[in-house]
Structure 1
Amino acid sequence: MGRRKHGEGTLFKRADGRWQASFVASDGKRKYFYGEKSSEALEKMRKAMQEDQKGLLASGKRVLLKDYLPQWLELVAKPQVFQGTYVQYEATVKKHLLPAFGHIMVHKLTVQQVQSFYAKKLEEGLAPGTVIYIHSILHMALDNAVSWGLISHNVTDKAKLPKRKRPDHRVLSLEEAKTLVKFARASRLETLLIMALTTAMRRGELLALQWSDIDFEKKTLQLRRSFRRVGNVGNIVKEPKTKAGQRRIMLTDFAIEALKRHKQLQEEQRERSTNWRDLDLVFPNTLGGYWSPDYMVLVFKKMLTQAQLPQIRFHDLRHSAATLLLAMGVHPKLVQDLLGHSKIATTMDTYSHVLPSMQKEVADKMGLAFTFEEDQEDEKDQKEEDQGDEKDQKEEN
């Protein structure tokens, strides 16, 4: 563990048991830091590297974005975000920001250059949402440059962002959802699809679900983690970002019965296997390990084709569940809790297409609530009178 990547310094364990970290400062001298734990030595080194970077600009030396952005990634972003998020940040910096701005000094970056960059990315075919994501990373990096004293203000604050296009996701109707579950019967996907459609859980949340998270007596599950696979990093299991994401979900009897059948089949499979990995996963691969998200989606897509259903994304099962619940008249607040949204505004905005029918129902109920008894009697008398006129008309004919 002695050598690290260029710019990260070095780290190794000394003969006396302590950890030593070091890096070459801007003055050309190597600085050393010690700690009982590797994390302690690294933290001391990172703080010193930050101070060295601040002093570099203060001394009047040229600081290019190609030098600053990697340091921001390593010293600021990496310790603060999940590993998978960091990998995405790093890829965005290398693919988009460094080629465009690497040759520019931090304090000479202009709003016009940033605005032209966004326009170019849109012309290249990037979606507005992707450009907004790139902007968010550049904005964070330059905000940090302000706090370090490298620049006086963040030029991205004045840049105009493209309007995010609302994706037109296809959701399943109730009949289509029933068809999918029926077609999946006795397959590996059956219980997974039932859980997706009845709990609105995300793909990563389902693949990280463990049997210990489920209380069969109370018919609930506690969502504690999510799973994803990131490039060369491999499998990443993490806790939900917000408290709302760490939610308890009530399970339907339909889901409970499916889970019981699924557990029994899984136990039989484990007994037959000679190299089963016991990770307590509800939806593992055929050897008990984490099921590849991409392969699971491939199986899901094939099933849609065989069932002659629309080619939706797996994530659209979550949208389908929420849409069906709202259409059934379930209160949006309850749907928000089920989805794990931290703000109800997110739920209302995402599923605004379902709300018009609900608003009509509210208007009808409100109108009925303010209809007074004498008005109802008048309406009743008028209705009886109209029926009498119709009867007389028929007898005359």
Structure 2
Amino acid sequence: MAAGTTYKTCGCRTPEGRLLGKKCPKLRRKSGSWSPTHGTWYYQYELPPRPDGTRRNPIRRGGYLLQDDAEAEIGKLHELLAITDDPDHRHRIIDLITSTLKQHKRLPEPEEVRRKIRTGQALDTTITVGQWLTLWLAGRKGLRASTIRSYHTHIHGHLIPVIGHIRLDRLRAVDVEAVFEVIDERNDLIIHARTTGDPALRARVKGCRVVGAATKHRIRATLRAALNKAIRERRIDLNVASLIELPPGKRPKALIWTPERIEQWEQARDAYITAKAEIRRAQLGGRGHSNRIKPIDAYIGTPRPSPVMVWTPEQTRVFLDRARGHRLYALYHLIAFRGLRRGEACGLRWADVDLDAGVIRVRWQITQIGGTTQQGRPKSEAGERQVTLDKHTIKELAAHRARQNHERLVAGAWVDSGFVFTDATGNSLVPEYALDQFQLMAMEAGLPPLRIHDLRHGAATILLRAGHDLKVVQETLGLSSITIASDTYTSVLPDLARQSAEDSAAILTKGPGGEKKSRLPDCRADRDKGA
């Protein structure tokens, strides 16, 4: 076994300029014990010979105030050389010791070397968190484009900017906590910019969105999955992402658009229009003629009471009356009555429609990421389902097929794509177009704003109001768990009871002039033709 020794030395010199080193008389007291204030401790360690038997240069390191510190380094060298009995591995460890001392002025960590030997990794390479996350993402095969996009956003938008530079095996829980501290700071800045309307602040956060509790949980889940893979490859021993506590990321509750909520939203819309006008006036130097806000911008941009808002059945009926005659009416009818997702409705094919039996099979969906669309399977196994149609929906789909056949005849150049809902030339429908038309017609009908996905939630509300239980809602909407239905829709039940009371009272209190009209602007546009 190679031996190590410690000694004390200093920088004193003789009158002639020669270095005294270990011979300096000040290093010891008169009693012979070491001086506690003069000189520093060094160690020397004789490494085993090279494979060819030649002697290696000994290690000499110093500058330690205490002898115990120098002896601790000798102990670490003993531990490193005792990691393995394999001669080849031992020589690799010795080469690592000399190169690490030369480059970083320190010894390698025994536990790190032990792990690399155990897992067959190269001893002279390290990997950062950013490098590992990128490698992990590249190895994820067979995922949906939307899933890959989410992982990419989590990794490159939130994780790498904060912890990407840290060595994977040195990542700590406090480092992961810093990721969410940065997110909270950015959230505060975005909210402040929106509240104050400061143009400079708004420019800084342009394109940024507030990251909610549920998204934070997904970001942590992405990191946790990547670190679990690192544990399986024995690159690390502990998944520090599992140690982080986050506020519960509960699903947003669905809320009914009651008269009180509509009134609150209209007040917020008016304030939104005023604030936007002030900002534009400041940007344009007070030229008022350019300060008008498009009604659709105010309609979409005004915050709603909840991310998930639901029309009452009566409000849904108002929308369908407005949409009747639009070439995509059957699509909105299908979502409102049977609760398909937007992508599932756009991806529906005639081959999966049986109007005689009154059923459709949901087997495909079209998703839109930015300006591109992609066809694929529904988002979960439960999403692939058979949906029974009511007689009204059967009638509307039959009428839509007749309309489409007429469009095929007059188009001249028709693409026989096989989709139920297409553009005017037969190509698959862009989901964003269906959304734009939906929001425009909803505004023109004087209804409070809704996502087209919330029209699907309205189908669940109708089922609940008709007395069906959450299990029926789960199966009809293709939810993977009844828990999702419960978390989303239990808040709707009290509102349904109250709304029925309001509807009854409205019949008795309605004046001769009819119901109170909404203050939403009437901006009817002739967009019912063409896709």
- Relative to the length of structure 1, the TM-score reads 0.72
What does residue 437 of structure 2 align with? 299
What does residue 129 of structure 2 align with? 65
Measure the CA separation in 2 of the matches of 1:118 and 1:162. 11
**How far apart are residue 290 of structure 1 and its match?**
2.0
Larger Rg: 2
Does residue 1:100 correspond to 2:162, yes or no?
yes
**How far apart are residue 221 of structure 1 and its match?**
0.4
Measure the CA separation in 2 of the matches of 1:184 and 1:83. 32
Q: 1:99 to 1:356 in 2, by over 3 A?
A: same
Partner residue of 2:406 out of 268, 277, 296? 268
Measure the CA separation in 1 of the matches of 2:473 and 2:149. 32
Partner residue of 1:145 out of 215, 230, 234? 230
Secondary structure of 2:360's partner? strand
1:176-255 matches, within 5 Å, as 176-231=315-370, 234-255=372-393
Mind listing any 5+ residue stretches in structure 2 that lack a counterpart? 1-115, 188-210, 253-305, 498-531
**How far apart are residue 95 of structure 1 and its match?**
1.8
**How far apart are residue 241 of structure 1 and its match?**
4.0
Secondary structure of 1:124's partner? helix
Measure the CA separation in 2 of the matches of 1:358 and 1:306. 25
**How far apart are residue 162 of structure 1 and its match?**
2.4
Contact 1:200 1:317 in 2 (8 A): yes
**How far apart are residue 165 of structure 1 and its match?**
5.2
One-letter code of the match for 2:181?
A
Does residue 1:320 correspond to 2:458, yes or no?
yes
Measure the CA separation in 2 of the matches of 1:162 and 1:120. 15
Measure the CA separation in 2 of the matches of 1:62 and 1:330. 58
Measure the CA separation in 2 of the matches of 1:143 and 1:60. 23
Measure the CA separation in 2 of the matches of 1:241 and 1:184. 28
Q: 1:101 to 1:145 in 2, by over 3 A?
A: same
Measure the CA separation in 2 of the matches of 1:229 and 1:345. 27
**How far apart are residue 91 of structure 1 and its match?**
3.1
One-letter code of the match for 2:427?
G
Q: 1:275 to 1:96 in 2, by over 3 A?
A: farther
Any idea what the Cα deviations from partners look like across 1:283-336, whole Å, max 9, x if unmatched?
112221222222221111110111111111111111111012112211221111
What does residue 41 of structure 1 align with? none
One-letter code of the match for 1:307?
A
Measure the CA separation in 1 of the matches of 2:350 and 2:333. 16
- Relative to the length of structure 2, the TM-score reads 0.55
**How far apart are residue 61 of structure 1 and its match?**
1.9
Contact 1:122 1:128 in 2 (8 A): no
Instruction: Please report the RMSD computed on the Cα atoms of aligned residues, expressed in angstroms.
Output: 2.1
Secondary structure of 2:383's partner? coil
Measure the CA separation in 2 of the matches of 1:295 and 1:271. 23
Any idea what the Cα deviations from partners look like across 1:350-378, whole Å, max 9, x if unmatched?
1111345899xxxxxxxxxxxxxxxxxxx
Q: 1:55 to 1:226 in 2, by over 3 A?
A: farther
One-letter code of the match for 1:252?
D
What does residue 172 of structure 2 align with? 110
Secondary structure of 1:222's partner? strand
Measure the CA separation in 2 of the matches of 1:144 and 1:223. 34
What does residue 55 of structure 2 align with? none
Contact 1:143 1:154 in 2 (8 A): yes
Measure the CA separation in 2 of the matches of 1:88 and 1:243. 20
Contact 1:64 1:105 in 2 (8 A): yes
**How far apart are residue 136 of structure 1 and its match?**
1.5
One-letter code of the match for 1:123?
E
Q: 1:266 to 1:101 in 2, by over 3 A?
A: same
**How far apart are residue 349 of structure 1 and its match?**
1.7
Contact 1:128 1:164 in 2 (8 A): yes
Any idea what the Cα deviations from partners look like across 1:256-291, whole Å, max 9, x if unmatched?
100011111111111212332211111112221222
Measure the CA separation in 2 of the matches of 1:281 and 1:162. 43
What does residue 74 of structure 1 align with? 138
Does residue 1:88 correspond to 2:173, yes or no?
no
One-letter code of the match for 1:93?
I
What does residue 11 of structure 1 align with? none
Contact 1:284 1:291 in 2 (8 A): yes
Measure the CA separation in 1 of the matches of 2:496 and 2:317. 23
Partner residue of 1:135 out of 220, 227, 230? 220
Contact 1:220 1:250 in 2 (8 A): yes
Report which stretch shifted further, 211-220 or 339-348. Answer: 339-348
Number of equivalences: 304
Measure the CA separation in 2 of the matches of 1:141 and 1:312. 37
What does residue 99 of structure 2 align with? none
Does residue 1:159 correspond to 2:244, yes or no?
yes
**How far apart are residue 122 of structure 1 and its match?**
2.1
Does residue 1:175 correspond to 2:314, yes or no?
yes
**What percentage of aligned pairs have identical amino acids?**
31
**How far apart are residue 123 of structure 1 and its match?**
2.4
Contact 1:327 1:354 in 2 (8 A): no
Mind listing any 5+ residue stretches in structure 1 that lack a counterpart? 1-50, 360-397
Contact 1:276 1:287 in 2 (8 A): yes
One-letter code of the match for 2:131?
D
Measure the CA separation in 1 of the matches of 2:153 and 2:319. 37
Partner residue of 1:333 out of 447, 455, 471? 471
**How far apart are residue 249 of structure 1 and its match?**
0.4
One-letter code of the match for 2:178?
S
Contact 2:335 2:341 in 1 (8 A): yes
What does residue 481 of structure 2 align with? 343
Measure the CA separation in 1 of the matches of 2:313 and 2:238. 52
Measure the CA separation in 2 of the matches of 1:214 and 1:204. 16
Measure the CA separation in 2 of the matches of 1:278 and 1:189. 18
Secondary structure of 2:310's partner? coil
Measure the CA separation in 2 of the matches of 1:323 and 1:201. 14
Q: 1:270 to 1:55 in 2, by over 3 A?
A: farther
**How far apart are residue 346 of structure 1 and its match?**
1.7
Measure the CA separation in 2 of the matches of 1:287 and 1:61. 57
**How far apart are residue 240 of structure 1 and its match?**
2.3
